[in-house]
Amino acid sequence: MKRLQYEIVEWTKGNSNILGIDEVGRGCLAGPLVLGGVILKKEKLLTLQDILTNLYTQNNAQTLMDKKKPQLLPKVEDLTADINIQNYYKIKDSKKLTEKQREELSQFIIDNAKAYAIVEISPAEIDKLGMSRATQKAFMQVIAQIRTKIEVINMIFTDKFAIEGIKKSQQLNILGGDNLSMSVAAASIIAKVYRDNLVSKLSEQDKYACYQFHKHKGYGTALHKELILKHGPCDIHRFSFEPIKSYKK
């Protein structure tokens, strides 16, 4: 399975506890940067891998016997009644899921992960530190939280970004990691759901209602920029980001 390829390599080395980390809200104009960290249960993922391996083997054999009628792969729901295994199979890049799917999978991941952590860096801190340093701070906070729950972290997977202060041999920085590693994908899902809910609820407060955060989640959409120009930036906007940086009353 493509989304387990990196995990399997580490498992064969005896590395069971793989921490996937991903960030959400990096380019937003408002709201925090949020990082999620997840260690999934190896045993469940191996069960899923075995099911899919058997499936591909059977399908290839059938196709060879009757090339005129290639067999379509059945859905994972048809292969196992184990709802947990079905849900693991659904974990992928949060951007490729609907809001409802993300919500359901986020709760599943939180309930079933071996360990998880969610960290947020405020807009004011982002302005003070800059995005690079803010991200590094969040990385270390995620790792620190996980270490209170898991004695040993064997390997850390990230989506592209390297973690300063962690040996290169103890991390793997995967370009497109949220699409290629289930551990990173799981982290992206819980981070995305947490941040979207947090920012959306701001619309319920009178002081923020005019910005309609529930519609754009703080991203730099045309609507959001229009509302900034109309009402001016507020305390949860990132003043080091354009067009807020150049905003004049």
pLDDT of residue 221 exceeding 90: yes
In this predicted structure, what is the pLDDT of residue 61? 46
> What residue type is 50 in one-letter code?
D
Phi-psi region of 104 (alpha: psi -120 to 50; beta: other; left: phi over 0): alpha
Q: Where is the binding site, in residues?
A: 22-23, 159
How far from chain centre, in Å, is Cα 73?
Answer: 27
Q: Where is the binding site for a divalent metal cation, in residues?
A: 22-23, 159
In this predicted structure, what is the pLDDT of residue 78? 66
Please, what sign has the CA dihedral across residues 82, 83, 86, 91? negative
pLDDT digits (tens, 9 = 90+) for 117-128: 999 999 999 999
Distance in angstroms (rounded) separating the CA atoms of residues 236 and 32? 8
Taking alpha carbons only, the member of 16, 26, 10, 15 closest to residue 161 is 26
Task: Provide the residue count of the chain.
Answer: 249
Phi-psi region of 98 (alpha: psi -120 to 50; beta: other; left: phi over 0): beta
pLDDT digits (tens, 9 = 90+) for 156-209: 999 999 999 999 999 999 999 999 999 999 999 999 999 999 999 999 999 999
Assign 107 a pLDDT band (cuts: 50, 70, 90).
very high
Does residue 13 or residue 73 have the better pLDDT?
A: 13
Residue 96, CA distances (Å) to 65, 78, 102, 178 in order: 35, 22, 9, 10
Distance in angstroms (rounded) separating the CA atoms of residues 45 and 8? 9
Measure CA of the first residue to CA of the last residue in the chain; give whole Å. Answer: 54
What is the percent of the chain with per-residue pLDDT over 70, rounded to a whole number? Answer: 90
- Return the bridge partners of 135, or none: none
2-198 placed in CATH 3.30.420.10: yes
**Residue keyed to tokens 């270390």:** 140
Q: How many CA atoms lie within 13 A of 116 on its CB side?
A: 25
pTM: 0.91
| Other CB atoms within 10 Å distance of the CB of residue 35 | 30
Give a three-class secondary structure readout of 71-123.
CCCCCHHHCCCCHHHHHHHHCCCHHHCCHHHHHHHHHHHHHHCCEEEEEEECH
In this predicted structure, what is the pLDDT of residue 249? 65
